[in-house]
């Protein structure tokens, strides 16, 4: 008796290998052209640029808060960069440029990442690709999942001080009833900024990049809390966390401390970046609830500035995101360890006393204090990335046993290569509230096709890490990746309809549903809902309806004189209708998705936040803010317990012959 098994395999629908550098430069050029066009328009109209899609002054709640409008932020005033700084400079590129102070957004992970990339000049230039400071327009590019997005912003920023006219009489008296004196002291300089700021001088790259990042993820509240390694990947596109717990390395798991120092830590800011954190002491036993260890706060991301060995001692120079934390352990500023002999080598260590947020630890203390180390590799243009994404659904609160093979990926390597294999969830930051009722963790095993023993296995993605990975040398041949997904209910099954009933901002819900659908369109097995995508302006202008309008105007011009006062006429036009049927069921913006990693066509819109691939086309400004209305009958997510998962394979100077995937249930 014969039996048959029906298997649905999804082949990669983009080129099998993509140069990371090449795809970034495509986005770079398009963003640069957009900034140039906007600046030219501003000069022609004698106007500074105002971003209608992220207008801090006229649409503040949309820019500040998430769906529930928690009102956790309340900045009293908005000013332009040129009104805050007398002599603004975007980026100086000095060591002080990396000294950053966290603002009200509680995003120390972002500040730590910014401090990290500030140590590498090229990374800053690659993130902010173009600007016209006189017109107040800035262009940034960020990496999302497998493609780049371009984000255009204006130079309006929130500050901490209210307008003089809003002060009480007593408050005005403190400034001698002098409005100009109040503005000069309270509304000027980096200290007046409400969100993140430079610790020194008048550099503007920190608050502007933070604003662009907030826009790319929906609002400032959405970028509160997170993981430094994820931000670095968003900022560089080349970042990849090393294999470890939750894309981190537990200091308890380091086998050889000398080897880690020599092969890893001393290479900081060369081809890798490091961040660290530890748990806050809960104080239950001690009764102390400060959350501090030797002056350092727990649950805060710290960055590694440099690692250096001097006179037989190993030192790690660290930086904290708040700029105010004081390390009180050995080798803190002014401690007894700093004898005259060691003070002489301070320049060699790369530290100076009193520098905001920077401190020195001995390597042994470094390993003792920090619970986890996040490592991010910086890839150069020799690395090639191939990916395949699939949409996975699981029953809510399933009691089925966890097992490898929820997704089965297969890739073929044509030549030997150092390889990094990554299993990743798509970036849900923008639409986290409507992503679904479950939190997803994942891990995988990698095996040579035809064998029954795995070559290696990844760690489990604790702490809601975005991805897990393994790094190894592979020989030519076919390989199989068995993914295991672990869905943990974190919301009620009816969370979406409950949220709407409880007062979610439906305008923001519409935006998040659109962004979610765009993210899901990465998946080869995704079937789009056209109601979730706004029609691009370029498509509307090219539509038959607009052509009909033009024909009607032409007819009216010819016969208009025949119309008397109070009369009207009926104009009939003939419209040719063409129906096109495509084999692909996956579409975006009413057009089939072109699964390419690099866009060949130059983007012709002007939206301030636009992807660079045809698969991510958005409506140009000002209409890009018009999202479809929320229709609960069509768009309810109460029955949707899904996630998009991708396999990324990074190879060195070697392209994959193919990469495919299938769902374990197929």
Same domain, 74 and 216: yes
Residues 26 and 615: their CA atoms lie apart, in Å, by 15
CA angle 600–603–605, rounded 5-degree value = 170
What does the longest C-alpha to C-alpha distance in the chain come to? 101
Provide CB contacts within 8 A for 25, sequence distance 6+.
Answer: none
Contact 367, 253 (CB under 8 A): no
Per-residue DSSP letter, 476: S
How sure is the predictor about 635, in pLDDT bands with cuts at 50, 70 and 90?
low
Same domain, 262 and 160: no
Inside any domain, residue 541:
no
Last residue of a domain, one of 345, 377, 409: 377
3-class DSSP state of 327: coil
Per-residue DSSP letter, 20: H
Structure-derived torsion over alpha carbons of residues 146, 152, 156, 159, reported in degrees to the nearest 10: 10
Last residue of a domain, one of 319, 345, 377: 377
Inside any domain, residue 82:
yes
CATH number at residue 353: 3.90.70.10
Same domain, 267 and 333: yes
Residue owning tokens 């910086």: 378
Query: Which of 124-133, 166-175, 237-246, 528-537 comes out lowest in average pLDDT?
Result: 237-246
Inside any domain, residue 432:
yes
Q: What is the mean pLDDT of residues 24-34?
A: 89
Residues 648 and 470: their CA atoms lie apart, in Å, by 11
Same domain, 25 and 133: yes
The whole model's pTM is what?
Answer: 0.81
Annotated catalytic residues are 108
Residue owning tokens 């000398």: 258
**Residue numbers of the domain that contains 466:** 380-496+639-663
Same domain, 319 and 390: no
Q: Which residue has the higher pLDDT, 259 or 465?
A: 259
Inside any domain, residue 188:
yes
Q: What is 369-403 written as a DSSP string?
A: H-SEEEEEE---TTEEEEEEEEEEE--TT--SPP-
Q: Which of 187-201, 311-325, 643-657 has the highest mean pLDDT?
A: 187-201
Report residue 516 as tokens. 């979610």
Inside any domain, residue 604:
no
Provide CB contacts within 8 A for 568, sequence distance 6+.
Answer: none
Same domain, 231 and 256: no
- Name the packing angle between helices 205-216 and 108-118 (round to 10°): 130
Same domain, 367 and 387: no
pLDDT given at position 451: 96
pLDDT digits (tens, 9 = 90+) for 448-481: 999 999 999 998 887 668 888 998 999 999 999 9
Same domain, 274 and 188: no
Residues 223 and 292: their CA atoms lie apart, in Å, by 24
Last residue of a domain, one of 210, 236, 262: 236
Same domain, 323 and 386: no
User: Number of folded domains in the chain?
Assistant: 3
Inside any domain, residue 616:
no
Same domain, 253 and 364: yes
Same domain, 195 and 254: no
CATH number at residue 391: 2.60.120.380
Report residue 263 as tokens. 């092969």
Per-residue DSSP letter, 97: G
Same domain, 392 and 371: no
Residues 65 and 385: their CA atoms lie apart, in Å, by 35
């Amino acid at each position: 008796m014969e039996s048959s098994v029906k298997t649905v395999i999804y082949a990669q629908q983009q080129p099998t290998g993509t140069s990371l550098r090449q795809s970034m430069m495509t986005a770079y050029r398009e963003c640069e052209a957009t900034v140039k066009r906007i600046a030219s328009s501003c000069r022609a109209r004698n106007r500074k640029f105002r971003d209608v899609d992220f207008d801090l002054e006229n649409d503040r709640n949309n820019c500040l808060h998430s769906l529930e409008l928690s009102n956790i932020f309340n900045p009293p005033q908005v000013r332009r960069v040129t009104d805050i700084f007398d002599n603004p400079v975007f980026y100086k590129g000095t060591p002080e440029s990396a000294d950053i102070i966290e603002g009200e957004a509680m995003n120390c992970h972002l500040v730590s990442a910014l401090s990290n990339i500030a140590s590498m000049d090229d990374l800053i230039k690659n993130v902010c690709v173009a600007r016209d400071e006189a017109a107040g327009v800035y262009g940034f590019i960020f990496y999302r999942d497998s493609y780049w997005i371009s984000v255009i912003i204006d130079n309006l920023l929130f500050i901490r001080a209210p307008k003089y006219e809003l002060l009480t009489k007593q408050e005005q008296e403190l400034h001698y009833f002098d409005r100009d004196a109040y503005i000069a002291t309270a509304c000027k300089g980096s200290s007046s900024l409400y969100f993140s700021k430079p610790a020194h001088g008048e550099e503007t790259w920190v608050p502007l990049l933070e604003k662009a990042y907030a826009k790319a993820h929906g609002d400032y509240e959405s970028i509160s809390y997170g993981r430094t390694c994820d931000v670095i990947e968003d900022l560089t596109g080349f970042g990849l966390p090393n294999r470890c717990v939750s894309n981190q390395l537990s200091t308890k798991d380091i086998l050889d401390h000398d080897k880690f120092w020599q092969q890893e830590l001393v290479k900081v800011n060369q081809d890798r970046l490091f961040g660290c954190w530890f748990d806050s002491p809960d104080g239950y036993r001690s009764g102390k609830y400060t959350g501090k260890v030797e002056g350092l706060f727990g649950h805060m991301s710290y960055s590694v500035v440099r690692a250096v060995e001097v006179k037989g001692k190993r030192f790690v120079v660290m930086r904290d995101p708040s700029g105010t934390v004081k390390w009180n352990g050995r080798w803190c500023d002014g401690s007894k360890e700093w004898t005259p002999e060691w003070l002489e080598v301070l320049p060699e260590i790369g530290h100076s006393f009193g520098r905001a947020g920077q401190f020195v630890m001995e390597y042994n203390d470094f390993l003792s204090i920090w619970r986890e180390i996040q490592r991010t590799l910086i890839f150069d243009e020799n690395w090639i990335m191939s990916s395949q994404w699939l949409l996975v659904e699981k029953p809510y609160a399933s009691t089925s046993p966890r097992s490898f093979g929820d997704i089965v990926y297969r890739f073929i390597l044509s030549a030997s290569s150092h390889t990094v294999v990554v299993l990743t969830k798509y970036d849900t930051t923008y639409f986290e509230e409507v992503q679904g009722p479950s939190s997803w963790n994942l891990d995988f095993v990698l095996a040579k096709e035809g064998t029954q023993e795995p070559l290696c296995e990844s760690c489990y993605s604790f702490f809601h890490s975005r991805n897990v990975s393994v790094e190894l040398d592979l020989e030519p041949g076919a390989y199989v990746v068995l993914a295991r997904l672990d869905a943990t209910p974190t919301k009620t099954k009816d969370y979406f309809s409950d949220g709407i009933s409880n007062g979610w901002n439906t305008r923001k819900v519409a935006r998040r549903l659109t962004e979610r659908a765009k993210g899901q369109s990465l998946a080869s097995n995704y079937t789009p809902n056209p109601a979730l995508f706004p029609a691009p302006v370029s498509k509307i202008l090219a539509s038959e309806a607009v052509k009909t309008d033009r024909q009607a105007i032409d007819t009216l011009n010819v016969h208009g004189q025949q119309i008397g006062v109070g009369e009207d006429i009926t104009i009939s036009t003939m419209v040719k209708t063409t129906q096109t049927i495509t084999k692909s069921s996956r579409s975006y913006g009413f057009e089939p998705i072109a699964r390419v990693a690099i866009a060949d066509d130059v983007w012709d819109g002007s939206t301030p936040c636009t992807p660079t691939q045809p698969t991510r086309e958005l409506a140009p400004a000002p209409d890009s803010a018009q999202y479809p209305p929320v229709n609960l009958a069509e768009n309810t997510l109460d029955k949707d317990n899904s996630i998009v998962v991708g396999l990324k394979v990074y190879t060195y100077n070697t392209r994959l012959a193919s990469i495919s995937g299938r769902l374990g249930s197929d």
